[in-house]
Structure 1
């Protein structure tokens, strides 16, 4: 069973798609600024046992844009809380990917009593140091040739003759272990404005260092690609060393987009964890 609908949350239309029946898992997409279709079709086998709740965050995908083009982490947390109420979920199972893992942790430290379990993948860390480390490591990976291409595309974007999709075409190969994985990547939209404002908010304000006690009763499983931009050894320093009860699973021969490169392994982990 699959349903797609708009829900009015905090005055804005949020697009929500639900697939399957059973206990709900709410998926938090990355970006910031991406959309729910990024998860599809990779996670669909899970719909045989769970109700998959996918939604486009504010200003993303098919959700309504903010009239003032202002986006913050706190607003995303409150959007997720209102969505929980709309769906009549007492507690949520959350699957957070990349920026979505930050959103999951932010929500869980704000409303710990509303979270059942957290599954995080392509994680970043517990504070802005993770994002800064991610940016440094990505820059190291990019070839000189592609750096030159990025400069040219940025100039074209400033003139309005190129888009963020042109940037992603250059960067996407650095997010995967096997470049052939990109051939199956769904065509998705990216809202650069959302990316900019939330990225800036993370850099300036993201810090859960003093909030981690609120997570100690919540089971947490982290699945990190062996060749992620932030591989497991770095995630230990940026995240799991601060969360002693969190389990870290290394996904071998895999980059940042774990569910895209290793869907069977991720789906098995998700099924076992949320069961």
Structure 2
């Protein structure tokens, strides 16, 4: 990996009556413009992500999506939909006076990248997607209800135990209720349990340090749990414009798909399905990786692609 790309500047952009986004520009101001879309929804665009990008080659734009990280208001659900976020990306492009840019999206950010590209195909030069999500309810159910508990029954036990048995038939709804109940202690405990589960199944090697951090300070990840449940319960606000059904709009765009063979959060079937619907894409299956951005095989392939892009 490279050093964290130097910060050029940072600021805030108002995108609605209530939402203001935090953004950063890093790297080479004369380099190839690329916008990085973080996962979640609700995570944060950490500067460390720029370690994948050759700093002399890329002019990298980072921002925290609505309700996430340093954007305000924190963990806000109102006016927070996928079409809203796609328009925000375009507002940022116009704010910086760019005609086109490359788009990199990870996990949920890959679905957002595709939704944005399908809305503004003429403004995208290239797509680089990692840990692909197609923003489908079936994928969300696999993660929180119907699939991964068979592989991680030990970690599922605590995640499930937080919810009374009468409500366990719909873990998404049960967690969503507690994440929005108005009692901060209950909301934070729900956020802790949700994010510990998410993190425990994210990598081949159990990330114990990350889990310890979540248990110590769950408030920083309230947005992840709350926004994920909000988006998933609403079919990621893409029921009328599903990603795969609209791939013809970006069939011409070149792109790379990087996916861990043992991704338990976004199963590889999503990456395969996307690749089959996108003739211009190249699929890179990492044989010894899960979902995490920081697995060695993922890092190696992402930096390799960005070096030759």
TM-score, normalisation: structure 1: 0.85
Query: What is the DSSP-based 3-state SS (H/G/I as helix, E as strand, rest coil) of the residue aligned with 1:78?
Result: helix
TM-score by length of 2: 0.76
CA displacement at 1:19 relative to structure 2 = 1.3
Q: From 261, 267, 273, give the equivalent of 1:226.
A: 261
Aligned mate of 2:203, from 171, 176, 191: 176
Cα distance in 2 for residues equivalent to 1:76 and 1:204: 11
Distance 1:43 1:175 in 2: 20
- CA distance change for structure 1 residues 126 and 242 in 2, over 3 Å: closer, same or farther? farther
1:158-237 maps to which residues of 2 (within 5 A)? 158=178, 160-161=185-186, 162-180=189-207, 189-191=221-223, 192-202=225-235, 205-206=238-239, 207-229=242-264, 230-232=266-268, 234-235=269-270, 237=272
Structure 1 residue aligned with 2:149: 139
Task: Report the Cα offset of residue 182 of structure 1.
Answer: 5.6
2-side partners of 1:271 and 1:8: how far apart? 34
Over the aligned positions, Cα root-mean-square deviation in angstroms equals 2.9
**Distance in 1 of aligned mates of 2:33 and 2:78:** 31
Gaps of 5+ in 2: 1-5, 165-173, 215-219
2:140 counterpart of 1:105: no
> Whole-Å Cα distance in 2 between the matches of residues 186 and 77 of structure 1?
31
* Cα gap change, 1:184 to 1:168, in 2 (>3 Å): closer
Match of 1:58 among 62, 66, 72: 66
Q: 1:122 maps to what in 2?
A: 131
Shift of 1:181: 8.2
The alignment of Structure 1 onto Structure 2 pairs a total of residues equal to 270
Deviation at 1:248?
Answer: 0.3
2:25 alignment partner in structure 1: 18
Q: Give 3-state SS (helix, strand or coil) of 2:103's partner.
A: strand
Is the Cα contact below 8 Å between 1:57 and 1:63 reproduced in 2? yes
CA distance in 1, matches of 2:24, 2:287: 31
